[in-house]
Structure formats: structure tokens, C-alpha cells
Structure 1
Amino acid sequence: MSIGSDIRDELHQLGDSSRQPPASFSSDAISPLLATVDALVILLSSLAGGIGYQWLVGYPISSILPYCAVGLLASFIHILRMNRSGYYDFPDCAKPRVEVVEVLVCWLTTGLLLAFLAFLLKVGLDYSRGAFVLFYFIAPIGLLGVRKFTKTALAAAVSHGAIGRRDAVLIGEFNELAGLGPQSLLALFGSAEVNRFVLSREDDASARTAADARIIDSVANFVRRHDCREILLALSWGDECRLEFIRDRVKTLPVAVRLLPDIRVRSLTNLSSSARPRVLAIEIQRAPLGGTQRFVKRMIDIALASLAFIFFLPIMTLTAIAIKLDSPGPVIFRQNRKGFNGKQFVIFKFRTMAVQENGPAVVQATRNDARVTTIGRLLRSASIDELPQLLNVLKGDMSLIGPRPHALAHDNYFESVLSDYAFRHHVKPGITGWAQCNGARGATPSIEHISERVKLDLWYINNWSLWLDIHILIKTCFEVLRKRNAY
């Protein structure tokens, strides 16, 4: 029997052991849906408190806008604080225990903050204290009631296979996967139906490694095609060679990778029926940015790139005319680069050279390079040649801040000599980055140069924050004026 048919048979056997109806609703939508429900509860509680108080005291009901405003502000504060503690994360939100203490403490502090803001802004005339007291006591009752209802509904939906995770992948040995029953998968993934890939059962070490490599390549293609966010490994902890091989192969993917307890550990600690294996899994690779962080970064990219494009449009127009008059050839230089998750895209730059290299061999620019045109030297020294990349940002291929993308020829070489180079593709490439604003820009004539740049890029990925991006933008402005290593 061939390796391919053997793997297909194993997949079929494992699929039969926990076959469920295809999930009709993705777990990705659970978090925003629950947050929206809580916001609606808080808003309706504010309206009920305001209208109810006016009715109790016999006052005519005037404008409901102040109650809507207070309700929206309260929901924003409450949801933001609860989200930071993972309150809306799936599958945690499907567990039976209602987080009574957490909800009450968060709502108590939210109410105190609202009262403090009302005192500072002097809004007492528009929103009475009686209405606020009613709102303050109605909202937590609604929040706890809705939480209990949604937990019951989610548990029922998960058990019937109506909710499934399409963003998770399970890789493992045949015996390890067979030992993970539906209950274990429910605790780990929030669904008994996940995407599984079974590793080879070959006895010969070289044949097994070759088969595993093909399977991991299939996993990588699946992850990129379906935008998966998490990989769990079900491997024997005693097989160090296989663990290291799999870890090395999946490090190019910008996803969280965790190692599950193997059969022996689960048998010793009775994890197979516990709700705790998700906690005990060992994280061997951290996801670079969460969904909320990526959304915030993308919104900032669109806003700032749009403003920058409008602001620099006159300069870009004059630059295009100057390039056309200076030398024959196109105004825009296009070259293939690798972006997020290793996906290729076409980068835009103002043409500054007489050549347009975009093949297996690309020679980096050097100081006093004869290929650089007259106007090109001015553009490169002032970094004006990078301005068309604002279009790449708006298209979504790049970010304003991130590791600078290199030509494919250089990428392939650097990946072969530096083991950590592939981690640069865990975030979108940027017009500028932490390496560039620290002077690591221009050519990379030696391994030491690119190694130092990779260290700076990885530091940025591991320490990303909104304030760090703002700091890099400000520092880049001064770096452009210094013209360090720009040629």
C-alpha cells in the first residue's frame, strides 16, 4: 500500500470516530456577537432606567438621547474591560459556569467611572440621578441573565455540531489522535469537528521524515488558504527528533502553535475527560498579533495612508514628471516581494535605476552605483521613491510599520542561512520599521548585516503595540532627515 493511500485510510478511520454534521456557524463570529448582545442589554437598560424613572415620578418623558448616550458609553467601557480578560473568547464562553463575580466587579467599576465622568462634565441636568440608579441595578441583572442564556445555547449548539472552528488545525501521530475523543476536542477547540492531519507511520526514519515534510507542506497550504490561526500538535513527548522537525517546519506560519499532553501524560492526570487540557498545552510558538490588534492596525493604516497619499500627491506628481524627463522607462518600478504568511505581492516604487531587475538574481544597490539615475539619487536619499508604497498599504499588501520586504532572490537566500528569518513574515511588511529607524537600512552586504536587521524586526514583532508604531513613525521622520545609509 502506498504512503498516500495509507494516510487516506487513517484519515477516514479517524473521521469516523468523531463524525458530526458539518458546522453551519463559525466560532469566529461568537465573540463579536456576544459583545453586541451585551452592548444591546446595557443600552436597553439605560433606556429602561431613564423612561422608568420619569414614569415613576410622574414627569413627562422628554428626549431619550441622553439615555442612549450614557448607555453607549457604558457598553463601550464594560465590553472593552471584559474583552481584555478573555470574557468573550470561544470556547471559554461555552463553559457552564457563569462569571457572576467578574461581571459584577466590572459593572461596579464601570458605574463608578460613569459617575465620575458625569461629575466632571456636569451632565446631571440632562440625566437624573434616579434614572442612573435604576440603570445601575437593571443592567447587571440583564447581563447575567443573557450570559446564562447564551452559555446554555452555545453548549447545545456545540454538542449538536452546529458550531465549528474553521481556524484551527490538529496535527499528530495516528495513535495520539485516536486517543483524543470528542470530549477532549470540545475542551481544546470548542468543537468536536476540527481539521486533522495525520503524520506518517513509516518505520524507516528517512521515509517517515520525507512523508512528514509533504504533510506539513499540505498543512501550510491549508493554513494560508483558510487563514487559520492556531495549530495543535498531538505528538509523543519522547520523540524529540520528530518534535523538533515539526516545530522547525511550522515556524514560517504566523499562527499560534501548542503542544498537547501526549497519551501517557493524559493517562496519569486524567486529562482526557478534563476541561483543563487547553490550559496545560505547551505554547511553542506565539501568534504575532490577535484579531483585535490586526483590526486596529489595519484601520490606522488605512486612515494614515489615505491622508499621506493626499498630502504627498503634488510631490508624487512632480516626481513622476521628473523621472519621465530624466531617463527612458516606466515611472513606477514593480518587483515581486513576500508579504504576510509568505504570500507574494507586487511592490510599487518610483524608478530610480536604469535597470528593472525582478528575477532569480537581483543585485543590491551600493554607494555610487552607476545604475542609479540622476534624479534617482535625489529620490533615494530623501526616501521619496518609497511613496508609491502607500498604494500597497491601501491595497492591504503592506502596513505603514513592519519589516521591510526584500526581493525574492534575497529572501530565498536569507531564509537558507538564517533560521529565524522566516519569522519576519508573521506580520505584514512595512514602508518603514524598527530596523530602519535604528539605522539598519540600505544594502545588506554580509550575513552580519542581515542578522542584525532580523533581530530588530523580530523584536518589533514580539513587542508590538500601538504606541510603538507611533514612536517608529516619529523616529522615521528624523531618520529620513539624517539620510543615514540612503543611497
Structure 2
Amino acid sequence: MASIVESVLDPVVAIGMLFAVAHSFRVVADGHYVILALLTFSLTFPGDSHLRENVATMTRRTILNWTLIAFALLAVGYVTGYVHYFSAPVLLVWLAGTPVALVAAHAISRIALPHLMSMSATQRRAVIVGANDIAAQLARRIDENSFLGVRLLGFFDDRGGDRIANELSDEVPGERLGAMRDLGEYVRREGVDHIYIALPMVSQPRILQILDDLKDTTASIFFVPDMFVTDLIQGRVDHVAGMPVVAVCETPFTGLNSLIKRVSDIVLATTILVLIAPVLLIVALGVKLSSPGPVIFKQNRYGLDGRRILVYKFRSMTVCEDGDQVVQATRADSRVTRFGAFLRRTSLDELPQFVNVLQGRMSIVGPRPHAVAHNETYRQLIKGYMVRHKVKPGITGWAQVNGYRGETETVDKMARRIEYDLDYLRHWSLSLDLKIVLATVRLVARDAQAY
């Protein structure tokens, strides 16, 4: 039920608002409005009510998501001229009123769903096999999440109460219901719906025996793999030629996400390049007149999957280093020209990389690309360093807006930057991309780390 509500709430509210606003303005919702409704559905389905987040986070993400969708719809409308088929007041009220309606609908769902889930007809009775750290984590999450509609009855473990008490603190809900040999009979007698097996993978004979005992029950059985010791990057269950596999490290940009990311990059990069064309000409002229050398500085960097790409920047130094030894720019670096210092402080030197985005080499948002020489050094010093290359490098990134821009004179600073890069891979969303872009705009003129 919660999944259904999460999937359809955003599109239903957004489309409902469109036709409601049109009706209030006495505008006939003709075929053009139907097409707009279909486009809105494609951009908002499946939705996310952020039920497991606090109200402030839900509100912020809901507004950011709708802002990005509204920008995309307006950009397409103006480029194609389709926007002129609609009433301007209707569009204005719809675009401004929908985020308010979405936040209100999400707030109502957060109140109503727990009551619906607590009804006996919808609740699922569950037990956990095994009493260990993983079982304790699962029990706490079930207890804290009222939207699951799952009621935990307790644990089955062959160890006695005192030994289990060492594994499960008083904060963990549920009690020991019996030994594992008692599981099958208990499930049949109590009508258990869900069984979570939280045993180590080395316990294969025991697991097989449990499955054999449960053959004549109708309970749903789930394995909770002991993989919390592994730092999962976009971990998920997948299939290879029909065989199930668990993804431990994977890019977030697969399938539809890949298309969404690429389309958003093309739309944003094209729009920005058109708007900043005069700035590009002025900066190019300034670079040419301020010091001898090429206007565009080209350097090899690592791109997607560690393949080398050529990255463009306005030259800000008197040298164009690109080899086995590349020295990072430092404060008061003598290689930086006077005009180049201004470009680096304002990030204007990065503007040619929007061309890299259109070429498909880079993205608007992603881990910043490092010089090849720096990659070869830090990949040997920092665990997980090369995982950042599971996505295209970006003009701006999560690390940069969190204070890790500019020189990384210590390994610890670079390691901290990599932590933010990997965090971006784990939690990517369009709203996160928009948040990073907006934060970058605020930082451009006042970032003390830029030199």
C-alpha cells in the first residue's frame, strides 16, 4: 500500500492540479493539456513521498524535485514553441501551486498511512531467524518504520536467553520465541506471513534445514545477507542470464536513470552555453591579451570507467602541464596569471567544460576530474578511490560544495573529498543534482578555497 501511494501520489496531484486550475480559469482542457499531463506523468512517475524522512527533508526535496520538473517543462515548451498553446495564468498558477499541493498531500499521507497499516487486515506478522547484529538492525528498522505494515513477533535462535541478551540490547523489539527446530510449527500455528533469515552465509546446512522445515507453509521467506561489513555502492539485487546476483558496487546511472541524467545534462548545458556565449567571448579575449599561450587549456583526465578523456578549460596559468608530473595549484602560485587568478576565483575557467558535457565526456554534476598523474598517485593511497569513476566526472560536485574545492595538500583532505564523491554515488537523485548546482552558484563569488 505504501509503495502504491508513493508511486502515484506525485503524478496524481500534479495532473489533478493542472486540470483543476484550468477549470477554475474556465479554460477548456483540450488535447494540448492532455499532452502536458502525459509529459508531467512521465516525469513524476513513480513518485517518492519521502515517508522515511523528516518533514523538513520531505518538504525540501519535494519542492526541489518539482522545480527541476517545472524548469524542464518550460525549457522544452519555449524551445518547441509549445508553451504558447496554453493560458499563461493557468501555467503560472499551476507551476506555483503544485509544490504546495504536493507537500500537503505528502503530509496527509504521512498521517493517514500509519493508521491504515496498523489495521489487522493489512499488517504482516513476521519473525527473524537468528539473533545477531544484523537481526538487531532489521528489528529496529521494522519497529521504527510504521509504513511497512509489518509487526515483528520475535526471534528464533538455538542459543539460550542469556547468550541472546549479549547480542540484542533492551532497545531491540521482540523476544526469543524458541529454537530453530520450533520455527516451522510456530509459523503454521500463528499464521506468520514473513520470515527473515539473518544467519551468516557460512551457515548453509542450517539454512537448508530451515527451508526444508518451511516447505509446507505459505510464509514469504527473505534472506538478510551479512553484507553490512561491505561498503555498498548502489547495492541491489540483479540478474545475469536468469541467475540472481547482488551488486556491491555499481553506477547509479543504469536504465532509465542513465537517460534522465543525459537528457538533463544536454538541456542544461545547451541552455547555459547559449546564455553565456558573450561571456565566453570576453573571457577568451582576456586570456589571449593577458599572457602568451593558447586560450583553451586541454588536459587528459580520467572519465567514466577510468577511460581517459580530454577536458577543456580557459588557460589560467603560464604553463600547460599534462604528463606524469602535474603540480596542483597552490595559494599565491607563481604560475597563475593575474587574469587567471580572477578566472579561478570565479570558476570562469571551467566554462568550456559545458562543451565536454555536450560531447558526453562529462556531466554537469559529478566527481571533479583529477589530472591523470594525481589519479595514479592517490589510487594507491586511498581505498575506493577509483570507484568515483563509475560515473562521468562533473563540472561541479558534492565534495566541492561541501568545502573540498581547490588544493588537497594532504592525503586526508583528498580522502575526505573521495568520501563525498562516493556519498554522491550512493544517494544520487535529480533533486540532489539541483541542490549541488544551486550551492555552486552561491559559492562561485565567495569560496575561499578557490585559487
Q: TM-score, normalised by structure 2?
A: 0.49
Higher helix share: 1
